Amino acid sequence: MIVREISTNNINQSNKKKGLKAFTPYLFLLPHLIFFAIFVVYPFLYGIYISFTNFDLMNSPKFCFFDNYIKILTFGSKYSKDFFAGLLHTFIYTVTAVPLIVFVPLILAVLLYAIKNEKLRNFFQSILYATSILSVSTVVLIFTWLLDRDNGLFNNLFMVDINFKGNEILTWVAIISLTLWSGVGGNMIIFLSSISSIPKSQYEAASLDGANAVNRFFRLTLPSLRFPLTFSLITGVIGGFNVFGQPFLFGGKVGSYETVMMEVYEYAFGSSPMAGMASAMSVLLGLIILAASVVQFKLMKEK
């Protein structure tokens, strides 16, 4: 009897220890989970909830079901015009800026890797990365000054009279240029480190087999960069769809540069806030980004 009790106690203690042990990892995760729940999960869910209300930041939100979504998707309404015009600009930005922000750093990384002198390589690497540490507002300020019609360096240096903010295409050229200028360094570092991790013996073997530089790039370097490329493309597309700071701060002709996120901001905090409508636009944009990411991921996985 006593033996039984002792063994039962031992089993209980062992179970308790096991339970505690199983629980321990979650304790380590808890601080992160708490912050994640407060700052990510709750705002995310609250944002979705708000999109089904007529919340105006002044009065308590009142449930209006799909009213906001219907208004956005009703052709010809103010909300529909703003959302789809914003979406078009966002799409133009994404399809032009993202390939550039991925492939220009890739080419730069390959060129840097080709530099044999380590000091020289580090020098160029630092120069190219330096622009990435600047904030969006600083970058826009630099480009605003460079491209100013009257006092800008560009017009005065080349003795021309180009108004980068007076023409839709030129405005986007400027916005994409400044994005590329400031964003090239981050991806370049990722690609450079990935290229560096490819065993040199593979390049030597390819060379012995008669592969030239172009062949080595397409048959060896590029396949080895599938994961960093997937990462850069997906984060680039997500960033592209969420673009806000660059066009918002740079400006341009009215109605020619507004993105979805700018419309969301305007609806949320404009002269008469419509946070419910802004949230509905955000949710729709989120769904579009999700769909784009899934398609990209599947395509990259297949190839």
Interface positions with another protein (CB under 8 A)? 54, 56-59, 71, 77-79, 81, 148-151, 163-166, 251-256, 269-274, 277
Kindly tell me which of 59 and 201 has the beta carbon lying closer to another protein.
59
Kindly tell me which of 99 and 255 has the beta carbon lying closer to another protein.
255
| Residue 268 C-beta: closest distance to another protein, Å | 8
Kindly tell me which of 79 and 191 has the beta carbon lying closer to another protein.
79
Report the C-alpha gap between 190 and 232 in whole angstroms.
9
Q: Residue 82 has which token pair?
A: 């703003």
- Would you give the DSSP letter of residue 150? T
| Residue 169: φ, ψ to 5° | -65, -45
Burial-class residue 159 by CB neighbours within 10 Å (0-12, 13-18, 19+): exposed
| Residue 31 C-beta: closest distance to another protein, Å | 25
| Residue 97 C-beta: closest distance to another protein, Å | 21
Distant-in-sequence contacts of 297-302, Cβ < 8 A, 24+ apart: 297/230, 297/234, 300/226, 300/229, 300/230, 300/233
- For the chain, strand residue ranges (E) read none
| Residue 149 C-beta: closest distance to another protein, Å | 5
> What value, to the nearest 5°, has the Cα angle with vertex 266 and ends 148 and 164?
15
| Residue 57 C-beta: closest distance to another protein, Å | 4
Kindly tell me which of 191 and 257 has the beta carbon lying closer to another protein.
257
Kindly tell me which of 166 and 223 has the beta carbon lying closer to another protein.
166
